[in-house]
Chain A
């Protein structure tokens, strides 16, 4: 670790992993509820388990991005972080707000939580992924502002690189687009239109800048390929992400009350959205092929390469499968949607956070990489999680196809009802649950690799005093 303030990433990474475990636990609960409809009812109704699952995901990814930034920025800027103390305070504030919010979801009926937190004064609750009380949302804004201030001040006094500028741009725009979460009009159509300015412009927009920057950073460090080459690729990738993704928002505007021209604009531009993910795949593999050094952290490189493949499949391929309006007309809001969502989030964002943790954590512990045994366990966990998630995706795709066949394609009167269709999917849901449990096993294997790393640290390669 070149700069001591990089260590401020540690609590962020640790908390991210704790939330990840919680997220997967609730994922398994949801998978069970799909089959045993009243499982844990009424103590944890489906919608409560769901908001815990999705909110934990988003928050642990945010903690991961923040940790990644605290690790990357001092090194990229070649100067210590402006205020490590502020970073620690924000950690505790964000962590406490997050825990309280999750407890609020679990311990109170949602309407009561809304009443207690003064939602009536400024109603922002009750939308998907934005279930947080308005005061939590305000807290998130405050934490983000402090975070951006800290990073911004560090960047001002240090070296500006393409990597750190792209990362910072992504983070600033993340905060800006989150502000749309505060806009909740009476019109359902307007509500939906601008809700996507948070969700789509995050995960199919500015989060791709963050992903690209982290990937570029890890590739620079592990391959030794010239920064100029990597940064040029990064610019091209994010250029295509924005050129395709901004108007690609239109693929969410087909059937929510927006004008018909979105059927065309959304289809054409979102069809191009796989391109930046394809480019990331080619980018990562060719940089690793052209590497000038054998970095001892093979696990980190595995996560990086794997991330680009799984993101291309989940976000790119599965996204493309249902993005054209004539197809989406039948697939909109089915299990096919869930298939895409799971693989895309896992491939793009879960894996890139696990990648940067894999790269940075040993260094923060004084090793260039973990021992071969620890890395083996970690790489195995990567395969287990990735294969489990691929299987979940295939199964949900099958469920979606059956659902569309029974419920959507036939004419009214011939089509099966929603509930009857769900009954027809039970076997698939059982198999999905088993794969979800397998994914959980992968998570535990991943965490166990840290235990192995500690136990075998004498077999780990020492920290290089290499020029970075």
Chain B
């Protein structure tokens, strides 16, 4: 068996398999990239939403929170915080979000703390817009329930 199955054959499986599946992956990527704009409501990705994503990154929110299940697991999932805390109402969510962020840290002894990020009203508005937009991405029905 080992005389008939040579190192050269193994090498060919590696090169051939690697190249084949990479090409297939690239092909599927083209299709995915084509499909994403509709799934994420790209037409609703306003300058405010884009700015909100920058603020999310500059403050490393993902260092404690998860977003669409990815990130850290120290604080709640925020991909669906709009339905959870805003009940799907943008005005309510904006008001809640601003009050919450301005009240941090809670300083409750022993409780996990969020820093005060000193964001301006405009930044808070943009970050909330980003989270609202994110909650509308078609994630194949994830998360399973409102708690995220």
Name A's B-contacting residues (CB within 8 A).
33-34, 36-38, 41-42, 45-48, 50-51, 109-111, 114-115, 119, 123, 125-128, 131, 162, 184, 186-193, 228-229, 231-232, 235-236, 238-239, 242-243, 246-247, 249, 253-263, 265, 329-330, 332-335, 337-338, 407-413, 415-419, 421-422
Contacts and interface: CB of A to CB of B under 8 A. Distances in A.
20 contacts: A33-B74, A47-B72, A51-B60, A119-B58, A190-B33, A192-B68, A232-B10, A236-B10, A238-B14, A239-B13, A242-B14, A247-B24, A247-B28, A255-B69, A255-B140, A258-B39, A259-B32, A415-B146, A418-B77, A422-B112
Interface string B116-143: 0100000000000010001001111011
A239 B22 CA distance: 12
B59 A38 contact: no
Given A42-B105, A186-B45, A190-B33, 10 more contacts: A38-B113, A42-B115, A114-B57, A235-B13, A238-B14, A243-B17, A243-B18, A255-B69, A256-B68, A333-B77
Contacts, number: 226
A126 B64 CA distance: 12
Contacts of A125: 57-58, 60
B12 to A, nearest CB: 9
B35 to A, nearest CB: 5
Contact-residue size bin, chain B (C-beta under 8 Å from the other chain) = 35 or more
B86 interface: no
Contacts of A41: 105, 113, 115
B70 to A, nearest CB: 7
A335 B69 CA distance: 11
B31 to A, nearest CB: 7
List 7 tightest A-B contacts by C-beta distance, closest first. Answer: A47-B63, A126-B57, A333-B69, A37-B112, A255-B142, A235-B10, A239-B14
Contact of A243 (B21, B62, B73): B21
B36 A187 contact: yes
Contacts of A162: 7, 11
A111 B59 contact: yes
B32 A416 contact: no
Nearest to B14: A239
Contacts of A186: 45, 49-50, 53
Given A47-B63, A412-B147, A187 B110 contact: no
- Interface centre among B53, B61, B130, by most A CB within 10 Å? B53
Interface in B22-62: 22, 24-25, 28-29, 31-33, 35-37, 39-40, 42, 45, 49-50, 53-54, 56-62
- Interface centre among A46, A262, A333, by most B CB within 10 Å? A333
Contacts of B145: 407-408, 410-412, 415
